[in-house]
Structure formats: structure tokens, C-alpha cells
Amino acid sequence: MVDQAVVLCGGRGERLRPYTDSLPKTMVEVAGRPFLASLIEQLGEQGLKRFVLCTGYLGDRISEYFGDGSGVGTEITYSKGPGSWSTGRRLFEARAMLDERFVLMYSDNFAMFQLANLLDQHLRSEATITLSTVRKNGGNVAMGDGHVVYSRDRSEECAHVEVGYMIVERDRVLAAMDLLVDAPDVDFADVLVSLSDSRSLGAVQIHGGYQSISDPDRLELSREFLSPKRILLIDRDGTINEKPPQGEYITRWEDFKLIDESVNAMAQLAEKGFQFVVITNQAGVARGLVDQSELDRIHVRMVKALAEKGVGVAGVFVSPHHWNESSYDRKPNPGLFLKASKELGFRLDRVLYVGDDIRDCQAAANAGCGMVYVSPNGETEELPVSTMPQWTVESLGEAVSTISSFYGKFER
């Protein structure tokens, strides 16, 4: 188990000036509060309740805001030092506060990581550090052949970049640091290079990209992404429209019948500011039973018909793949959820998905979002394990209040 997070938040943040002339980088406002508050909240929701903040430049601004952490439901201690300390030195000076195993964070990146997946990979690989990475051309991490290579410099040979969210074995890392010239006054990147060379570095890929506040342009993108949004993800067949018999498909608009009760519920939510994103499997295309152009026509007409009811659809994401293709986009895989998040700019852990099939529930769990499982006959199935909330209802109308409450708690 791991329940401690250590955050490196002592740097000057030169690229983020003039914001950092009077604030530590991680205290810059994002979505109505300091960026660090979003990180602490995210980690706390995954069971990390104890924090060590390694502060430096204007560190008192951080401790004055967060105090002992009780105001944000956590326990916070501080390892304070001058802004001139290297990241390696900052971690070294905090060593007496560190658990044997902890999560190490940077204070300027945000990604949709899942602690359970990261910990599982870390324990299986027996690595000294397991990184969280995101695909990026010209990155600093190469993954393959069971060997993770970390580079201080960006390279076209590296298809991933590490973004923090790493699990660290304290004693082994301190021992590796001690072997470096000039230790402990080294960059933490030097420690990662050393562990890479000794093949004791692991990595997990996070799908869905990452946000950063490292410069003013990225700060604005992060502000937009992290701002609360009333976007409800929803399945199509059996949820919005009447479901065809098993093994059959709706092949033309004339056979597409909206479910009145669902549309009425969607209209109620639209009045509360909700927009909708449709995520649907349509294997009939791959099977040659549904024409792609007609499927496009169905969706254009569906969006128009819903708009006439006051229901706005922000996007329709379709997997036309056969179930034998093992497509990452086909539910229960989360590919379409990740695409929607990237294109429309929303956090998956701040939205719900509505569907009528257990595979919808599995897809939501895999994507890291919550779930409303619509079971018209009141039948319940065992829902997949998820860190996010899940509800079973007999109709979408029954869930309107629950959905509104879920989104409302993130709005400040």
C-alpha cells in the first residue's frame, strides 16, 4: 500500500513570469484556486491523505494557504529550504519525513492517472521507481523490451515523456543518489538516469495526455481544461433511442426511435446547463450491415431532433469496429472517452457516463469516470471495481437529481 505523496514545489518558475514574481509557481490560480489544490484533491480522492510539500522559493505562501492540511481533508507537513536547492537535494533533506514507499509529484503537471494501476505495475516489476508517462514525440523516456530508458535530453528516439505521479522506494533511491558525484546536490533527473542505467526503472503509460502550467500559454490551456463543465457522457442504443434486437442494427434514420423518458430527462438536465457527448459502439459498420454515410446521417438527424427538445450535443464519438478487432476505441476499452476528453477539454474524473449495458460500466471504470447504469427492469449486475461512484437506476429520469448533485459539488 501507499498513502503518502511528496510534492516538489520549490523552484522559481522562471518561464511562468510575471505570475511567479510574487507567487510560487504551484500557487498560481487555476480554476479559481491554486493549482496545487487541484493536485492535492486529485491525489486525496485516490487514497493519498498524507503530504510532504518540499518548498523553496516563496514557500511561506504555500504553508500559509494550506496550513496543516485539515482545511482540505489531508495531513500536510513541510520540508523547507532555499529556492537554490536542486530537486535531488530537496528530496534528500526531506528523507526523515518519507515513508518507505511514496508517490512523488512535480507541482506543475496534471494527468489522469489511476493509482491502483500504477501500484500494481510497480509491485510486479519490483522497480525502484515506476514513472507515469504520456506519449509524446521527442520525449525523454523510451519504453520497450522490458527496459525503461530515461534521458535528460529530449530525443526523437523517445516516444514518451514522464510527468511525475511516480512511485518511489525511499531507501533504494537514497542509496542510488549517494553514489552520484556531488550528491546530494544533484538534479532528480540524474537519479532517474542512474536507475535507468541499472535497469531498475519502471514506467506506466497514462492515456489522455497531460496539462502543465510551466509557461503562460500552457497555463491558459490548463485553466480551461480544469474548469468545471457540465458535460454528461451517454450511450446511444437503449439509452437515447430504442434498442434493436440483439445482433441487429439501426440502418436508417426512419427506424431510429427516441426514448421519450430519456429525452425528457436530458431536457431537464439541459435546463440545468448540461451538454451531452454520445459514445457508442456500432459494429454494424465493420460487419457490412450499416452504411457509414447512413450512420453519419442518423447522427446528424439525432443531434437535430435533440436540439429541437432543447438538448445540446457537443459531440458524437463512434467505434465502427468489429469486436474481433480489439480496437482501443471499442467499449469496454476507454479510447473514445479519452478522445472526447482531449477534443472537448474536460476531466474524466469529473464526469459521468450513462449506459444500459454492463460493458458501458466497464468502459466507464476503465476511463476513470463515474457511471449511471440504466436497468429498465430493475435487474442489477455486479458492477466493475472503480474508484468512481456508480449508480443503478431504472430510468434516466430517476437519476436527474443524482447527476446534478455529482457535478454541483465540483463547482466553486
Query: What is the gyration radius of the CA atoms in the chain, in angstroms?
Result: 23
For the question of residue 235 being annotated catalytic, the response is yes
- Tell me which of 120, 187, 217, 237 is the catalytic residue: 237
Please provide the DSSP assignment of 308-323 as one string: HTT--EEEEEEE---G
**Distance in angstroms (rounded) separating the CA atoms of residues 164 and 79:** 19
Q: How far apart are CA 204 and CA 216, in angstroms?
A: 28
Torsion of CA 132, 163, 362, 277, to 10 degrees: -170
Phi/psi region, residue 192 (left: phi>0; alpha: psi -120 to 50; beta: rest), is alpha
Residue whose C-alpha is closest to residue 36's, from 132, 108, 102, 97:
108
For residue 281, the Cα-to-chain-centroid distance in whole angstroms is 22
C-alpha 134/C-alpha 149 separation (Å) is 14
Determine the Cα–Cα distance for residues 144 and 399; give it in Å rounded to an integer: 45
Q: How many CB atoms lie within 10 A of CB 401?
A: 10
Q: What are phi and psi of 225, to 5 degrees?
A: -65, -40
Active-site position among 108, 190, 235, 360:
235
State CA 6 to chain mean position distance.
19
Pairing label, strands 75-80, 50-55: parallel
The span from the CA of 352 to the CA of 25, in Å, is 31
How far is 185 from 197, CA to CA, in rounded Å?
20
Q: Return the number of other C-beta atoms located less than 10 Å from residue 179's C-beta.
A: 10
Distance CA 272, CA 80 (A): 45
Q: What sign has the CA pseudo-torsion 215, 220, 223, 226?
A: negative
- Catalytic residue numbers? 235, 237
